[in-house]
Amino acid sequence: MPLIRVSWGTAMQTVGLLPHEGKPEALATTEAFITLLRKAGFTPRLEERTASRLGHPAFGVAPEAFVEGLDLVIALGGDGALLRAAHRVYPREIPLFGVNFGHVGFLAEVEAQEVAEAVRRLRAGEYRVEDRLMVAASVGRPGTTPLVALNDVVIAKRGQARMISLAIVLNGVTLTEYRADGLIVATPTGSTAYSLSAGGPILQPTLAALVVTPVCAHALHARPLVLGAEEEVTVRILAPHEEVVLVADGYETLALLPGDEIHFRRATAVTRLLRFTGPGFYELLRERFRAGKL
């Protein structure tokens, strides 16, 4: 399974800032970024509501115009904020990086106290950009919109619903059927998230692959599968169950119906994550293992 593209620093000018507005520290760090970016010759951009709230209306634009012409997006608030930013820029492939505020994660690139050094490295071109595969899920039913995720798309039951009966079809071949609490189709980036907690493998994040992981399956033969990214996975909802949903990256949802077929495949665009020189994936993995965070 080949690696996907990694490129090196190029010139940037307009930088979008997407803070988690429920976190005061994220808003304070956004203020610091605005000052640092302007001094370094960048043009900051915010959504007009955020810009007005921070007292910088000149840098605000309407939400629908936010991503137009951006060279970079900085998500402030941890891995969840970066996942939402990935959805926001899709399919334009604008580079992203995240600022973390004390929570464990693999996606956020810098801590809040490191923002000045981050801006210096941006201006000096001391970074690389990794392309991360995304997964798309479409339901074979009129009126539905495909969901796209950087981490994972999950078939899940709501509340106290019964187990879900599923058929797994790979490239047109029905591989197996089983009952489970759900099913996760994860990217390599998402292999360290929900899929890992359900018993899935950890994949090197720039691999071109997908992971199919059952959640609490009522069958000994139901095991995680690692597939090439060009393969298509179809999951069929076999039995009439209520309150089954499709969830992309933990927050974008679509209600499913009995008999629905969900088609999972590599998305047409990637998420481009900006990385500074520092600990690599395996160093981060070692730190998480030592700290008991995985």
CATH number at residue 244: 2.60.200.30
Has residue 249 been placed in a domain? yes
Q: Please list, residue by residue across 149-160, b when 16 or more beta carbons sit within 10 angstroms of its beta carbon and e when fewer do.
A: bbbbbbbbbeee
Has residue 1 been placed in a domain? no
Residue 167's DSSP bridge partners are: 177, 236
Q: What is the pTM of this model?
A: 0.91
Show pLDDT as tens, one digit a residue, over the chain (294 residues): 555 555 555 567 999 999 999 899 999 999 999 999 999 999 999 999 999 999 999 999 999 999 999 999 999 998 899 999 999 999 999 999 999 886 666 788 888 889 999 999 999 999 999 999 999 999 988 889 999 999 999 999 887 768 899 999 998 899 999 999 999 999 999 999 999 999 999 999 999 999 999 999 998 889 999 999 999 999 999 877 668 999 999 989 999 998 999 999 999 999 999 998 665 677 767 776 665 555
Has residue 26 been placed in a domain? yes
State whether 80 and 160 are in the same domain: no
State whether 250 and 189 are in the same domain: yes
State whether 250 and 203 are in the same domain: yes
Which residues, 6 or more positions from 203, have their beta carbon under 8 angstroms from its beta carbon?
Answer: 188, 191, 209, 211, 226
User: Looking at 71, 79, 152, 249, which residue is catalytic?
Assistant: 79
Cα–Cα–Cα angle for 216, 152, 226, nearest 5°? 70
Which of 113, 109, 115, 114 shows the shortest CA–CA distance to 130?
109
Has residue 146 been placed in a domain? yes
Has residue 212 been placed in a domain? yes
Has residue 32 been placed in a domain? yes
State whether 108 and 152 are in the same domain: no
State whether 85 and 69 are in the same domain: yes
Neighbours of 259 (CB within 10 A): 12
State whether 86 and 176 are in the same domain: no
State whether 247 and 286 are in the same domain: no
Has residue 239 been placed in a domain? yes
State whether 12 and 123 are in the same domain: yes
Any catalytic annotation for residue 79?
yes
Which residues, 6 or more positions from 58, have their beta carbon under 8 angstroms from its beta carbon?
Answer: 51
Q: What is the pLDDT of residue 239?
A: 76
State whether 120 and 43 are in the same domain: yes
Has residue 123 been placed in a domain? yes
Which of 270, 248, 66 shows the shortest CA–CA distance to 145?
248
Q: What is the pLDDT of residue 178?
A: 93
Total count of domains within the chain: 2
State whether 149 and 229 are in the same domain: yes
State whether 156 and 250 are in the same domain: yes
Q: What is the pLDDT of residue 286?
A: 76
Q: Is 115 exposed, middle or buried (0-12, 13-18, 19+ CB in 10 A)?
A: buried
Which residues, 6 or more positions from 232, have their beta carbon under 8 angstroms from its beta carbon?
Answer: 170, 171, 263, 264, 265
Domain harbouring 90, CATH code: 3.40.50.10330
State whether 100 and 205 are in the same domain: no
Q: What is the pLDDT of residue 240?
A: 72
What would the two tokens of residue 256 be? 């499913």
Domain that holds residue 60: 6-132+270-291
Q: Is 104 exposed, middle or buried (0-12, 13-18, 19+ CB in 10 A)?
A: middle
